[in-house]
Amino acid sequence: MSKRLGKKTRTTNLGYNERHAKSGISSPLPDIETFPNQYKGYEITIEIPEYTAICPKTNLPDFGTITLHYMPDKECLELKALKMYIHAYRNLGIFYENAVNRILQDIVKACRPVWAKVTGTFTARGGLSSKIEARYP
């Protein structure tokens, strides 16, 4: 354990700590705008192949593809606003796992879908690649 500002913080052998783990979770990002849905019972898939963010531990860039799959209820995601939202991650320090869950949380908040799934497929680093999925509800 390391001691910081009078609080104990868990640190791993690799030097990761609570600050790294929480990085980017509550950072301000642009709003995701919506428009009124006119139909029911259909699915939308949006693929975003240009996702980038910064690893909060190494400060190296992370690259990947974010795929959104959802069934709209009363609102649909507006694509230009979604693109601006995703591009805001470019300078944000955030782990893959947190980014995928944060994107899902923000999409649900914006359009209240019937259901949604966000998948992040990230470029291999050090011979390992990651695929993260988060679902609502």
**Interior/surface letters 108-118, b for 16+ CB within 10 angstroms, e for the rest:** bebbebeebbb
What are the CA-CA distances from residue 85 to residues 28, 33, 42, 81, 124 (Å)? 10, 10, 24, 6, 24
Work out the number of other CB atoms within 10 angstroms of the CB of residue 41: 7
Is 76 catalytic? The answer is: no
Of the candidates 62, 76, 106, 111, the residue annotated as catalytic is 62
Of the candidates 31, 55, 73, 106, the residue annotated as catalytic is 55
Cα separation of 134 and 20, whole Å? 20
Give CA angle at 21 (19, 26), nearest 5°.
Answer: 80
* Positions marked catalytic: 55, 62
